[in-house]
């Protein structure tokens, strides 16, 4: 689905969402009963850098400052963070974290945040957008990836065909929407033939600031240990003192 | 430790995670959670014929810092580059959630970051756990927990670790520490050597290194490369920690927009430092820690509560 | 990954009061050694996980010499090897014993 089709499907009552030449999405969509959704995002597979972050974060802060409980939809089609010396020099890590923090602030202030991956989504840009939302969904055809297999092969020195074989039996490293769903990162995969606005309304009911992704990952057998380990740490922190290990 | 004075000067950069935890905290105050004897290891590494570590490369626990109760998490940069993975990340997430949800527990978390980012063999789990950690940190900060990032190890704080650092209440960095998103080698591979010559050490340190981060406001304290140095930095930072709320984020929006404006025409770090009003930016590189820390404390952009 | 196991009857129990010790890091040319004072009498068990095959005889030789010289009775020793040379292995085992001998 194209971005236009997605927006039409999400907001049959209308929207004013615009995409800038630089691929920055900002606008408002109409829900039923006169309600609205704030919409931000990254389009056309562009890379997200310091310049792109600022208007997106500003929009989120505008929504929060206005009060109320307008939800925020984050549309994601990005190739990842902008890779440039001058970006790093100016502290790109702070900019990407800032956008994530603004979305997390919004969630905490009563604005449900929904992420929708419809194209690419990678690494640092994902952390700033999709992965900072309360409830992340994907449309079939979305290609989220931390890193492509050939690059993983190069860095880990594992042969590419061995990686491809392994990717068939474990969702833990290879790109793919189904893998991310199994890991608990993606809450659900939407059906493009069904009305998107209805799926959005359902998602808004399910979204919560409580992070259940590790529980989903355990239930879906994508992450057998994460939820258990976090719980065990809390148990040990609240329970006993323990630990008399000599070390040097 | 018999010779506390000598140990206090031990290099942070050279130390292991466990040595840093012990060296940073008050003597004999550290208690480890899910220690190596519990063998809470990666369930995935064996698939790749890669050895695992008994603690999956993260040391967590609690102790005291100058008498104050704290939680501490230290990444082992020498094991798989200190990378975020299913278990290593979950240990950190659990610790922050414990502070967030239990007021009777330490309300300070020290995150000794030493990480190249996400462990590729567990890429999806690693990426996701960074997101869970960032959410937990923000929620903990909102509940009044101080989360302090400390960066000065061999792996630096790249990728997810760079974003995690910028999510914390405060950041301490040493000259050896590097904080960034994409590493120099990866930028060079993807964009060419003209974009980033990763073998040019001076370029790497002026771009990603501790001194640059401190001067432009990406770090709030500059530490000497020693246990005593980081201890002093942590204690100084804990004296005043910004709250996490709309005001703070609005202030950060202004700060980051101003930085964009200010350095828009700069092609390298030295020109940025000149814009900051530093008379002799070329001398920054060889300046000793004490003089540098003093200079940094006089730069407006370097000292803020907008994080 | 390869797992090697060795069982020994050392001459005597290792002195000291530490129950557990950890030394080293899993990295190229290095290894991690976990020592636990959990076995009865002067029994000693060593388990090694290593990604490098073909060095069984070398491991046996290093372990044999270590047990002979340091008598780590009562200890279960677990190793995660990152591809360390025999002298580094020996060093870590010695360092581990020194930690366990603390009072």
**pLDDT tens across B54-64, in order?**
999 999 999 99
Please give, rounded to a whole number of angstroms, the shortest distance from the CA of B178 to a CA of chain C.
Answer: 21
B175 touches B225 (CB < 8 A): yes
Report which of B279, B275, B254 is spatially closest to residue B266, judged by C-alpha positions.
Answer: B275
What range defines the domain where residue C20 resides?
A: 2-100
Residue from C60, C53, C51 nearest C7 by CA: C60
pLDDT of amino acid B173: 98
| Measured distance CA(B251)–CA(B134) in Å, rounded | 19
- Which comes out higher in pLDDT, residue B252 or B7? B252
* Residue B195 structure tokens: 């974009």
Query: Could you tell me which residues come within 8 angstroms of residue A111 by beta carbon, excluding any fewer than 6 positions away?
Result: A38, A63, A64, A69, A70, A71, A72
pLDDT for B22-81, tens place per residue? 999 999 999 999 999 999 999 999 999 999 999 999 999 999 999 999 999 999 999 999
| Whole-number Å distance between alpha carbons of B97 and B142 | 12
Interface check C99 vs A, CB under 8 A? yes
Please tell me the distance from the alpha carbon of residue A120 to that of residue A127, in angstroms, as a whole number. 13
Let me know: does B13 contact B58? Beta carbons within 8 Å: no
Q: Which residues of A are less than 8 Å from B86 in CB distance?
A: 172, 223, 225-226
Looking at the 3D structure of chain A, how many domains does it have? 1
- Specify whether the backbone of B269 is left (phi greater than 0), alpha (psi in -120 to 50) or beta: alpha
Instruction: Write out pLDDT tens, residues C71-93.
Output: 999 999 999 999 999 999 999 99
Closest chain B CA to residue A236: B33
User: Are C99 and C77 spatial neighbours (Cβ–Cβ below 8 Å)?
Assistant: no
The tens-digit pLDDT sequence of chain A (248 residues) is 999 999 999 999 999 999 999 999 999 999 998 899 999 999 999 999 999 999 999 999 999 999 999 999 999 999 999 999 999 999 999 999 999 999 999 999 999 999 999 999 988 899 999 999 999 999 999 999 988 899 899 888 889 999 999 999 999 999 999 999 999 999 999 999 999 999 999 999 999 999 999 999 999 999 999 999 999 999 999 995 444 456 66
B249 vs A101: CB contact, 8 Å cut-off?
Answer: yes
Q: What is d(CA B14, CA A88) in angstroms, rounded to the nearest whole number?
A: 25
Whether residue B90 and residue A126 make contact (CB cut-off 8 A), yes or no, is: no
Surface of A (5-44) touching B: CB under 8 A: none
What tokens does C78 get?
């677990």
The phi, psi pair for C50, rounded to 5°, reads -140, 145
Determine the Cα–Cα distance for residues B259 and B268; give it in Å rounded to an integer: 14
Domains located in chain B, CATH noted? 8-302 (3.90.226.10)
Amino acid B3: pLDDT: 65
- CB of B279 less than 8 A from some CB of A: no
Nearest Cα neighbor of A77 from A107, A119, A32 is A119
Q: B47 in contact with A at a CB cutoff of 8 Å? A: yes
Picking from B236, B307, B156, the residue whose alpha carbon sits closest to that of residue A88 is B156
- In chain C, the number of structural domains is 1
Check if B74 contacts A (Cβ < 8 Å): no
Report the CATH number that the domain containing residue A68 is assigned in CATH: 3.90.226.10
Nearest-by-CA chain C residue for B49: C1
Sort out which chain A residues have CB atoms less than 8 A from B196's CB and list them: 85
Say if residues A148 and A168 touch (Cβ distance below 8 Å). no
Burial of C90: CB neighbours in 10 Å, binned 0-12, 13-18, 19+: middle
CB within 8 Å: C99 and A246: yes
* Residue numbers of the domain that contains A126: 3-140+190-209
B72 neighbourhood in chain A, CB within 8 Å: none
* H-helix segments, chain C: 56-70, 86-100
Do C1 and B54 lie within an 8 Å CB cutoff?
no
Q: Which of B134, B99, B40 is nearest to A225 (CA)?
A: B40
Q: Is residue A223 part of a domain?
A: no
**Closest approach of A46 to chain B, Cα-based (Å):** 15
Do C34 and B37 lie within an 8 Å CB cutoff?
Answer: yes
- Which chains have 3 or more CB–CB distances shorter than 8 Å to chain B? A, C
Q: Of chain A residues 75-114, which have a CB less than 8 A from chain B?
A: 81, 83-98, 100-102, 104-105, 108-109
Contact A185, A136 (CB under 8 A): yes
Tell me how far apart the alpha carbons of residues B44 and B48 are, in angstroms, rounded to a whole number. Answer: 8
Gap from A164 CA to chain C (nearest CA, Å): 20
d(CA A123, CA B116): 13
What is the Cα–Cα distance from B175 to B157, expressed in whole angstroms?
13
**What is the distance, to the nearest Å, from the Cα of residue B222 to the centroid of all Cα atoms in its chain?**
12
Cα–Cα separations (whole angstroms), residue B149 to A17, A123, B83, B270 = 38, 21, 16, 25
Chain B positions touching A101 (Cβ under 8 A) are 134, 138, 167, 244, 249, 252
The DSSP 8-state label assigned to residue A15 in this structure reads: B
> What's the confidence (pLDDT) of residue A156?
86
Closest-CA residue to C20 (of B235, A90, B54)? B54
Q: Which residues in chain A (155-184) have CB-CB distances under 8 A to chain B?
A: 155-156, 158, 166, 170-174, 179-180, 183-184
Q: Do C21 and A247 touch (CB under 8 A)?
A: yes
- So what's the pLDDT on residue B1? 43
Q: Does A247 sit within 8 Å of C23, measured CB to CB?
A: yes
Is any Cβ of chain C less than 8 angstroms from the Cβ of A65? Answer: no
Is 0.95 surpassed by the pTM of this model?
Answer: yes
Contacts of C22 in chain A (CB under 8 A): 245-247
Is C21 in the A-facing interface, judged by CB distances under 8 Å?
yes
């Amino acid at each position: 689905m194209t971005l236009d089709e997605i927006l039409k499907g999400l907001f049959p009552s209308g929207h004013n969402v615009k995409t800038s030449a630089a691929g920055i999405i900002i606008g408002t969509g109409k829900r039923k009963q006169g309600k609205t959704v704030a919409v931000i995002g990254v389009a056309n597979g562009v890379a997200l850098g310091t310049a792109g972050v600022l208007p997106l974060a500003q929009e989120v802060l505008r929504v929060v400052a206005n009060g109320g409980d307008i939800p925020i939809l984050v549309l994601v089609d990005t190739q990842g963070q902008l890779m440039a010396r001058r970006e790093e020099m100016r502290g790109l890590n702070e900019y990407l974290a800032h956008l994530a923090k603004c979305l997390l602030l919004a969630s905490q202030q009563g604005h449900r945040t929904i992420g929708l991956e419809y194209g690419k989504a990678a690494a640092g840009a994902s952390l700033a957008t999709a992965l900072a939302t309360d409830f992340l969904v994907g449309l079939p055809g979305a290609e989220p990836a931390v890193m492509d297999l050939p690059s993983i092969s190069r860095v880990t020195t594992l042969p590419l065909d061995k990686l491809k074989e392994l990717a068939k039996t474990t969702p833990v490293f290879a790109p793919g929407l189904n893998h991310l769903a199994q890991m608990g990162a993606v809450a659900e995969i939407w059906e493009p033939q069904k009305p998107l606005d209805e799926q959005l309304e359902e998602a808004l009911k399910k979204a919560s600031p409580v992070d259940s992704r590790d529980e989903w990952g355990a239930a879906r057998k994508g992450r057998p240990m994460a939820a258990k380990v976090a719980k065990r740490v809390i148990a040990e922190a609240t329970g006993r003192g323990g630990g008399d290990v000599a070390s040097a | 430790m018999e010779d506390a004075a000598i140990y206090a000067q031990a290099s942070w950069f050279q130390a292991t995670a466990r040595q840093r935890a012990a060296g940073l905290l008050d003597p004999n105050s550290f208690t480890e959670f899910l220690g190596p004897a519990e063998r809470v290891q990666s369930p995935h590494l064996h698939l790749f014929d890669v050895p695992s570590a008994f603690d999956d490369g993260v040391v967590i626990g609690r102790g005291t810092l100058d008498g104050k109760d704290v939680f501490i998490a230290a990444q082992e940069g020498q094991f798989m580059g200190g990378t975020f993975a299913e278990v290593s990340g979950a240990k950190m997430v659990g610790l922050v959630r414990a502070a967030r949800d239990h007021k009777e527990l330490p309300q300070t978390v020290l995150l000794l970051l030493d990480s190249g980012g996400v462990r590729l063999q567990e890429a999806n789990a690693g990426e996701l756990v960074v997101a869970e950690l960032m959410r937990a940190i923000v929620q903990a900060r909102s509940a009044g927990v101080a989360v302090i990032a400390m960066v000065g190890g061999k792996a630096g704080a790249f990728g997810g670790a760079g974003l995690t650092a910028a999510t914390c209440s405060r950041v301490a960095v040493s000259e050896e520490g590097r904080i960034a998103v994409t590493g120099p080698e990866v930028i060079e591979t993807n964009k060419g050597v003209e974009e980033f010559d990763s073998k040019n050490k001076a370029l790497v340190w002026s771009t990603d290194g501790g001194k640059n981060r401190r001067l432009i406001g990406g770090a709030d304290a500059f530490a000497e490369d020693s246990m005593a140095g980081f201890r002093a930095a942590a204690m100084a930072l804990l004296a005043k920690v910004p709250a996490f709320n709309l005001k703070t984020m609005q202030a950060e929006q202004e700060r980051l927009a101003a930085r964009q404006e200010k350095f828009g025409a700069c092609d390298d770090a030295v020109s940025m430092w000149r814009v900051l009003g530093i008379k002799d930016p070329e001398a920054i590189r060889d300046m000793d820690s004490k003089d540098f820390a003093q200079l940094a404390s006089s730069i407006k952009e370097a000292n803020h509560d907008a994080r | 990954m390869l797992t090697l196991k060795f069982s020994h009857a050392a001459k005597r129990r290792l002195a000291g009061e530490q129950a557990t010790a950890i030394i080293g890091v899993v990295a190229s040319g290095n290894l991690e050694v976990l020592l636990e004072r959990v076995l009865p009498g002067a029994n000693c068990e060593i388990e090694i996980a290593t990604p490098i095959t073909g060095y069984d005889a070398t491991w046996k030789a290093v372990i044999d010499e270590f047990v002979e010289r340091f008598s780590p009775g009562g200890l279960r020793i677990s190793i995660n090897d990152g591809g360390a040379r025999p002298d580094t292995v020996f060093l870590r085992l010695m360092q581990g014993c020194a930690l366990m001998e603390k009072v």
